[in-house]
C-alpha cells in the first residue's frame, strides 16, 4: 500500500519548448486557465463533462511532466495545482501573459 507516486521535474529542468508544448493544446490550456482562476482542484472536477477520464489523465500527465502542474493524491482523488512559483522563477512573465489573455479560449476544444 505504498502511496501513489507522481514524477515531477525539478524547477531547473523545465525547458521552454516543453512548457510551451504543454500549453499548446486547447484542452490543457483550459485546464490551466481553470487552475489559475480557482486554485487547486480535484482532477475529476476538471472539464469532467466533456472529457473522458483516461483522456484527462493523459493531458494531466503531460502538464505534470512539463513541470506546469503538481499532482497530489488526497484519498481517492487527485488534487491538481499550478506550479506557479516554479514556472515564474524559470520563465518570468510567461504565465502572467497567459493569464492576462484570460479564458477567452478556455472553452471546450
Partner DNA sequence: ATTTATGTACGATTTTCGTCGTACATCGTA
Partner DNA sequence: TACGATGTACGACGAAAATCGTACATAAAT
Q: By CB under 7 A, name the binding residues for DNA.
A: 1-4, 21, 24-25, 27, 42-44, 51-62, 71, 73, 75-78, 109
Q: Which does 12 bind (CB under 5 to 8 A by kind): its own copies, DNA, none?
A: none
Q: Which does 101 bind (CB under 5 to 8 A by kind): DNA, its own copies, none?
A: its own copies
Answer whether 35's CB lies under 8 Å from 41's CB: yes
Answer whether 79's CB lies under 8 Å from 43's CB: yes
Under the criterion CB under 8 A, does residue 50 sit at the interface with its own copies?
no
The least distance separating DNA from the CB of residue 92, rounded to whole angstroms, comes to: 25
Euclidean distance between CA atoms 32 and 82, whole angstroms: 7
Amino acid at each position: 500500500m505504498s502511496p501513489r507516486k507522481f514524477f515531477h521535474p525539478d524547477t531547473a529542468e523545465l525547458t521552454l519548448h516543453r512548457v510551451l508544448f504543454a500549453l499548446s493544446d486547447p484542452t490543457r490550456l483550459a485546464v490551466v486557465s481553470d487552475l489559475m482562476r480557482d486554485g487547486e482542484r480535484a482532477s475529476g472536477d476538471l472539464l469532467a463533462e466533456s472529457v473522458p477520464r483516461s483522456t484527462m489523465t493523459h493531458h494531466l500527465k503531460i502538464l505534470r511532466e512539463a513541470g506546469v502542474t503538481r499532482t497530489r493524491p488526497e484519498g481517492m482523488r487527485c488534487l491538481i495545482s499550478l506550479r506557479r512559483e516554479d514556472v515564474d522563477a524559470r520563465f518570468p512573465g510567461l504565465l502572467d501573459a497567459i493569464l492576462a489573455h484570460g479564458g477567452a479560449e478556455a472553452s471546450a476544444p
